[in-house]
Structure 1
């Protein structure tokens, strides 16, 4: 379950990077990239919760980080729909997502560390 979760989050990272690069370049990203980003993260979260339920307690940090990443993502989406572009929300979302992904990959690759 943890490997599948990591794979899903890798897809979310790729899609999020694509979205970020397009926004920074002033281009409108493909409409399908946001649903891919959100969907892959959602599926990855489900598999991560299943792995947690199966006894992998080292994922508790990842759960806390995932909640924070989701919260900033929802705030970003809400602010964007209101017509605002709040850079600190994007920065927090990205930094927390990087920490989350590094932690998840570390737990996946080095389970006994």
Structure 2
């Protein structure tokens, strides 16, 4: 379905946001990608999930500096966890490694 409103306006409506999140979790789970929602400490939940993942490396995509700081502080040295900050318009994506910091 194509949207006819701007993203900010669509997500400003709590019902729209809730339905979108539910749809994303269902779609990812159906494709055997672990997905969950939380009503508390979102940044902490993301960091904990990234650090218990059994894969050799994890990429977390976000724009929140708090998330990056938590990843850097809480990721064990033996883990390969990367933080990607998506670019906008003329600004390129940036990828940071918690090991390098």
TM-score range, shorter chain: under 0.3
Q: Identify which of structures 1 and 2 has the higher relative contact order when contacts are C-alpha pairs closer than 8 Å and 6+ apart.
A: 1
- Which protein is richer in helix relative to its size? 1
Tell me which structure has the larger Cα radius of gyration: 2
- Which protein is richer in strand relative to its size? 2
Question: Could you state the TM-score of these two structures normalised by the residue count of structure 1?
Answer: 0.26
